[in-house]
Chains A and B, each alone.
Chain A
C-alpha cells in the first residue's frame, strides 16, 4: 500500500512534482537574471547621469559668473543649458546639480540658481506633478517649488490643498514650498491650515514654524501678528497652539514675550492644561525674569502634575531669587518628580538657592541625597575655579 496515496499515487503525480521543480528552477534563474540586469541597468543609468552632469557643470558655472544685468548673455546661457535637456532624467540631473551647488553657496549666486531652476521644461514637468495622485510625484513637485523663485498664484492654488493630504510627508513638503514665498500673509494662512490638522508630531510642527520664519528678510512684526492669530484662535487644536507657543522663543520672536505674559495674566483656572504648560515653558525660554511672580501665583497650586513640574523647571531657569520660598515649598510637593525638579531649580538660582538647599530640613531621604550631591558638585566646581 502506498502511504502517500494522495501525493504520488501514480505517474501523473510524479510528473506534477517534476513540473513544480522545473517551475522553481525557472523562477530562481529568473530572479538571479533580474538582479543582474537591474544592476547593469543601474550602472548604465549612473554613468549616464554622471556624463550629463559633467556636460552641464561648466555651463552652470559659466551661468553663475554672468552679470544678471546682461539679459542677452543670460538668455543665451539658459538656452545653451535647455538644449542639453532632452529627457525626464536630464531634468532630474539639472535639478540635483542646482540643489547641490545651492547647498554650499548663498547670496547672489544662490538667487541665480533659483532663477535658473525655473527653466521651461523643468517647471512644466514639476507643475504637472502637483496634480498627480501619486505621493512620490507630489513630493517631488513640492520639493521643486521649495527651491525656485516663484510668486505665481496658480502654483499656490495647486499646493494649498496638498496641506490636507493624508500623507504627512506631502503635508510637510507642501507647507515648506509655501513657506518659501515672501508674502507673510500667504505663509500665515498655510501655517494655520497646518495647525488645524490633528496628529502632527511636535517635531514636525516645530520644523514647520521654523520654516515659516523668513531668514533672508526682516519680517518679524508681520510674522508675529500671524502667529498671534493662530495662538488666539480657539478652533485650532490645543496641542498645536501649545507647540507654537513653545517654539516662538527658540526662533527669536522676542516681541511675543509680552503678549504671552498677558495671556497668562488673563487665564482662568478652567483653561486648558496644554496651553498653560506651553506658556510656562515659553516664559522660561524667553528668560522672562519678571514673570516668576505671575507664574507662581497662577500655577503653584495647580492640580496638574505636569504643570507643577514645568513650573519648577522654569522658576529655576528664570533665576529670580524671589522664587526661593516657593521652590522650598515645592520640595515637599506630593509628587516625586516635582520635588526633584524643585531641588534642581534651587541649585540653578545661584548662591542664595544653594544656601537654601544646604539648610533644607524635614524632607525625605531621597530628596536630601539629591540635594547633598548637588551641593557636593557645586563645591568641587567652585574649588576648580578658585585654583
Chain B
C-alpha cells in the first residue's frame, strides 16, 4: 500500500508537470499568434479592393477536387469552383470510382466529351478510365478513375494538372471567392514558398446559395458549436503559431495550395495512410531538408474555406479516430526527424510537441484521470485538492479557448453579432465538461487502433518508409 501511494505521488507529480508544460506551451503559442495575426492584418489593406495586384500576372492554379459518391452536391460544388475570382485557373474533378451518378451528372450538366489525352505517369495511381473536357467551360477537366483513396485521386490530379500550383480541396469544401488571390500572397512574398494552408471554418449553421456563403451564423447543435471553438483554437493559435516559428507540420486536406513540382519530386501523396495531408507536408520538409534546398511552408489565417463538420457523436468519433491514426502514422513514418539537428526547430520543437502532446497526450491524460481517481479513493489526496485540480484544468482549458475567441474578435470578426461572441464564450466553457473527456477517449482509441493495425499491415508500413526517403 505504501508503495502504491509512493508511486501515485510520483506519477501524479509527473502528470502535473505534463499539465503545466502543455499549458505553458499553449500560452506561448497563443501569445505569438495573437501578435503575429494582428501584425499581418494591419498589412491586409495592401490586398484589399485597391490591392497591389492590378495585373493578371498571377501564377495560374489547378484546383484538384476528388469526388466519391457526391451526386447530391457535385454540380453546385463545381459551379462554385468555376466562379472563383482568379485570372487563370483550371478545375480538375477526379471521380474516384463513384458508385452513384456523380460522373453522369457531370457529363450531362457540363456537356463533357471524352478526350484522348495521354499524360506522362509521373506518380503512380489507380488506372484512369477516361478523361473528359467540358464544351461549356474550357477550364474544366474531369478524370474518371478506378477507386483508390483520396490520396490516390489527388495523385491522378497531380499528373494531369496543367499549372505549376495545385490547390487540393475536399469535395465538400466551400472556398470563398477571393481565396486564391489571398493564398497566392505567400508565393508572391517569397519565391521559396512550396506549400500554403488556409484557415478552415465550420460551415454548419451558415447559409449558402449557389456555392457561396450568404450569411454567417453559429451551428445550432451542441457539438457543432463546440467544434467552432475547437477549429478557431486549432487554426488561429496552433497553425499561426507554428507558421511564425516556421515549423508547420500540417496543412489541412480540406484546403491547401502546393507547388506541383515540389510535390511530384517528393513523390506525391501516399495512398496507404489515412493522414495523407499531414504526411505530405512532413515529407516535403524531409525532402527539402535532406537536399538542403531553402523552402517555406506557410499558413495564412485570412483565406477561408468553409467545411461541413459532423454533428452526431458516431461520425465525429470516427473522424477524430481517423485523424489521430493519421497523425500517429505520419509522426511514426518521419520519426527520424525527432531531435535530429538537420531538422532544426522541426526536430527540437514541433516534433516533440506533436509526439508528447498530440500523439501521447490522450494516453497521459487518460492515465492521469485514473491515477487521480485512484489516489482520491485510497485517500492519498484530499477532496479539496481533487476539486482544485479539476477546476484548474477546466479553467486553463477554457482560458485558452476564450483567448482564441478573443483573437478572432481582434482580427477577423467573421461572426456578425454580439450574440455569437457570447455563444462561443459559453461553449468554450461547456467544452470542458464531457466533450474534452470524450475527445481524449476517441483519440486514445485512435492511437490504440493504430498500434494494433500496424502489426497487421507490417509490409505496407515498410513500403511507406521507403517512399518517404
Contacts and interface: CB of A to CB of B under 8 A. Distances in A.
Question: Are A and B in direct contact (Cβ within 8 Å)?
Answer: yes
B421 A36 contact: yes
Given A3-B9, A377-B115, A36 B189 contact: no
A313 B395 CA distance: 63
Contact of B6 (A3, A39, A172, A380): A3
Nearest to A206: B57
B392 A21 contact: yes
A172 B52 contact: yes
B150 to A, nearest CB: 27
Contacts of A348: none
Interface residues of A, number: 63
A31 B189 contact: no
Nearest to A201: B191
Contacts of A168: 188-190
Of the listed residues B188, B398, B418, the one surrounded by the most CB atoms of chain A closer than 10 A to its CB is B188
Interface string A195-216: 0000111111011001100000
B403 interface: yes
Contact of B421 (A35, A100, A173): A35
A168 B8 CA distance: 56
B426 to A, nearest CB: 9
Contact of A207 (B57, B406, B409, B421): B57
B113 to A, nearest CB: 9
B49 A28 contact: no
Contacts of B388: 14, 17-18, 20-21
A4 B50 contact: no
Interface stretch (B216-224, B339-347, B376-384, B442-450): B376-384
B116 A380 contact: yes
B402 interface: yes
Nearest to B429: A28
A380 B189 CA distance: 44
Contacts of A207: 52-55, 57, 188
Given A25-B395, A31-B402, A370 B120 contact: yes
Contacts of B422: 36
B184 A203 contact: yes
Contact of B189 (A17, A28, A136, A204): A204
A169 interface: yes
Looking at A7, A14, A172, the one whose CB has the most chain B CB atoms below 10 A away is: A7
Interface string A150-162: 0000000000000
A28 B12 CA distance: 26
Interface in A74-121: 99-100, 103
B50 A39 contact: no
A203 B188 contact: yes
Contact of A3 (B120, B190, B380, B403): B380
B410 A38 contact: yes
B169 interface: no
Interface stretch (B39-47, B77-85, B195-203, B235-243): B39-47
A1 B8 CA distance: 13
A147 interface: yes
Main secondary structure of the interface of A (DSSP, over half): helix
A55 interface: no
B187 interface: yes
A298 interface: no
A201 B398 CA distance: 42
Contacts of B53: 207
A250 B118 CA distance: 30
B187 A203 contact: yes
Contacts of B391: 21, 24
5 contacts: A27-B399, A35-B402, A42-B413, A203-B187, A250-B57
Interface of B: 5-6, 8-9, 12-13, 16, 39, 42-43, 45-46, 49-50, 52-55, 57-59, 115-118, 120, 184, 187-191, 375, 380-382, 384-385, 388, 391-392, 395-396, 398-399, 402-403, 405-406, 409-410, 413, 418, 421-422, 425, 429
Given A202-B191, A210-B57, A340-B120, 20 more contacts: A4-B381, A8-B385, A24-B392, A24-B399, A31-B425, A32-B425, A39-B418, A43-B418, A99-B50, A136-B45, A143-B45, A143-B46, A143-B50, A203-B188, A204-B189, A207-B55, A210-B54, A369-B118, A370-B118, A377-B116
Q: Which 5 A-B pairs have the closest CB atoms?
A: A373-B118, A3-B9, A210-B55, A24-B395, A136-B42
